Structure 1
């Protein structure tokens, strides 16, 4: 008779912590908050949603009132720098541990957004505050976007919803699909909406620093608990 091996199975370190799907949904909420801050409080510019930002740049270039070419160009440039940095981080950590990789980038995002909150509280009316907040949040969002793209978790980009909404409709049972991913897609839309509503309320009724602080704390908590498993 063969002896039974009672040695406990070794736990996969990548599985420790919060799975990537709920973590990315949390980050989608943060994106809604960040874009509410940037669009409503920083002169009609996006720092998370670059699709909207390219359109805004076109508006500004055409001379439409309420839009700024320098603000939008700053956001785009800093986002690209963040994405480039995110690509380098992925190259270094992505082949080793997804858990460590995700936590490192989220920790950096938390620091950058936290720094923007400090600036917003310390110098709300200073001449350079708007550009500083745009630069810091766009840099953080570029870093995160590069990470999310390379993590390759379906339907959770955390910053844009066009493809998600298209998939939600086209792949639904009414559209002839299975609807298998509809719950995840719908959750992503709700998360973005909730973040945007919360961020807008805080900008309108409070200040810019509070929603940025909330975003930094949320990113920091996710950096501490995110796992490497979907």
Structure 2
């Protein structure tokens, strides 16, 4: 049995100033919205956030950004977040932009205990500045170190009491690999079922990577609404 929290305040109680946190999601898909809101309410600051992007101005990680609770952001793109863009340009926020595939592999490698790897992504671009490179079989590769975090905040559609997780379609995105790369993994799940009720063949992330769970109802806003006239 994993720790099952009854309040989001309790779920993030141990997250401290200066913590490095991985946050699952892609855009607003699969983000642990209520855990993020709990961090906003907690007022924890000087955070290093590892996530694909930083939400939007008024939702998700964008709320932490707006409150100046994030000191450093490691991600793959700015997206439509104007405050992210403003803080980046003004120098208020330290940003490490990383090719998306490289970011995914850095997280996966961290969870697998692999300290570093070589990748062709970024060769010949500003991404390669001040980085070690190596020619392997006649092709140049960049040296990239893996990523780990103090905490991983994960969003699942279904979990059992042992922490085995299922994700809904593309909401799997970064959640699966981040679950394994955090020293402490906290899962916000839409549905919590009894142990043994989740088909083992349908488990996306095994419970060995999960320390605690909480049930949360998500708002699930649309990041960019497109309609046909």
Instruction: Specify if TM > 0.5.
Output: no
TM-score (norm 1): 0.23
TM-score (norm 2): 0.23
Higher strand share: 2
- Radius of gyration: which is bigger? 1
